[in-house]
Amino acid sequence: MKRIIPYYVEGHTGKGYVNLIKNNVESLDRMIILTNKYPQIVRHVLQGLKEALLLRTSFTIEEIRSLDVRESIDGLIIREIGVALLHENLCNGIDSLDLPLEKIEIPIILSARLGMAERDSQQIEEAYRHFRKGLALHEQLEKVYIQAMDFKKADQIIERLLDELLKTVSPRKTTYEQLERLFGTNTPYGIVNTVPELIAPFTKKIFITGRAGTGKSHIMQKVMERCEELSLKVEVYRCSLDPDSIDMLLIRELEICLHDNTSPHTVMVEDNVQVIDMYKETVDQEVENVEKETIEFLQKEYKKEMQLGLKVLALRQPSPPLIITGRERKKFQQFIKQLEKEILT
C-alpha cells in the first residue's frame, strides 16, 4: 500500500548496534511513548492503530519495523500532523530532544500468561564480532577492486547523473532535511528488507550495480550533497553492514529512487528501471583474473562470518504469540479508539 512507508531505525551491523530514531522524530511536534510490561501488547496496539488510521484518514503512515519480531511494528509516524507513537524500547537518546514527550501506559492485562524474549547482550555481542570480521573482509575486497578502478570515468558518470536528475531543479526556499534510516538489517529471523514496498511509488528508478568498492555509495553521497545545496528533502537508507555507507537514496518530491541493487538486497529490474553498472563502466575487469584467488578467499570468508553472525542471532527465543479473549479484544478496541481520538484532536 503506497500510503505506508516501511523501514527500520534499529540495526545489527558491522559496527555494532545502531538506532536512528532521533533523526526521524526531531522535526515533529509531538511524541507519544507507549508502555506496557509486555512488548507484544504495545505492538498489537500499534498495529490496530495503523489499521484504524488507514481506514478513517488519508494520512501517509511511516511504519517503523521491529528488529526483534518479524512483520511487527515498533513505531508509527504521521508527519502530516507531526506526531510519532513509539514503543518505549525504541527511544534511546530522545530525551535530549526539545519535544513534548508523553508517556501513555496501556492499561491492559491479559489472562494468558506472556513470556518476554529479552535481548541477550552476550549473544548479540558475539554476533557483532562476526559482523565486524565480515565488514573487515569486505573492506579488503573493496581494496582489490579500487586498485583497478578508473576514477576519471567514475567522476564522469556522477556528473552526467547529477545533470540528468537535478540540473533543471531550482533551489527550494525550505530548510534542508535529511532523514536517516535502514531499509533492512540482520535479525534473529534472517536478513530482511522493505525495498520493494519503499520503491514502488517512484517513477524514476536508478539501480546502481557493481562489485565491492566500485563507488555505488559514493554516487549516492554526491547526489545527496547536491540535494542539500538545493534544499531538497532526502531519505537516506544506510547500509546494514557499514552504516557509514548509503544503500539507497529517495527524493520523494521528485519521485527519484537510487538503489544499490546488489546482494543481499537485490530486487527485480523492471523495464522502466535505469541501470548503472559501475564494475563494467569503471573497472579493468582483468582484475578478476589477476586476483582470482584473493577475491574467492575474501568472498568465502565474508559469507562465512555473516552466516555465523546470523546463526548466533537466530538462537534468541522468539516472543510468544498473543492469545486474546473476546473481552480483552474489546479492551484493545476501546483503547485504540481512545488513542486515535487523542492524536487527531
- pLDDT tens track for 274-295: 999 999 999 999 999 999 999 9
Confidence of residue 1 (pLDDT cuts 50, 70, 90): very low
Same-domain pairing of 272 and 335: no
Task: Please state the rounded mean pLDDT for residues 116-125.
Answer: 77
Is residue 264 included in any domain, yes or no? yes
Is residue 25 included in any domain, yes or no? yes
Residues forming a β-bridge with 104: 34
Same-domain pairing of 187 and 240: yes
| Structure confidence by residue, pLDDT tens digits, 205-258 | 999 999 999 999 999 999 999 999 999 999 999 999 999 999 999 999 999 999
Instruction: Decide: 74 and 8 in contact? Cβ < 8 Å.
Output: no
pLDDT at 195 exceeding the cut of 70: yes
For residue 109, give its domain range: 4-117+319-344
Taking the model in full, what pTM does it have?
A: 0.95
Q: How far is CA 151 from CA 95, 156, 250, in A?
A: 44, 9, 25
Is residue 127 included in any domain, yes or no? no
pLDDT at 16 exceeding the cut of 80: yes
Is residue 306 included in any domain, yes or no? no
pLDDT at 96 exceeding the cut of 50: yes
Distance CA 316, CA 120 (A): 7
> Computed from CA positions of residues 57, 184, 186, 95, in that sequence, does the dihedral angle turn out positive or negative?
negative
| Structure confidence by residue, pLDDT tens digits, 296-345 | 999 999 999 999 999 999 998 677 778 888 888 999 999 999 999 999 98
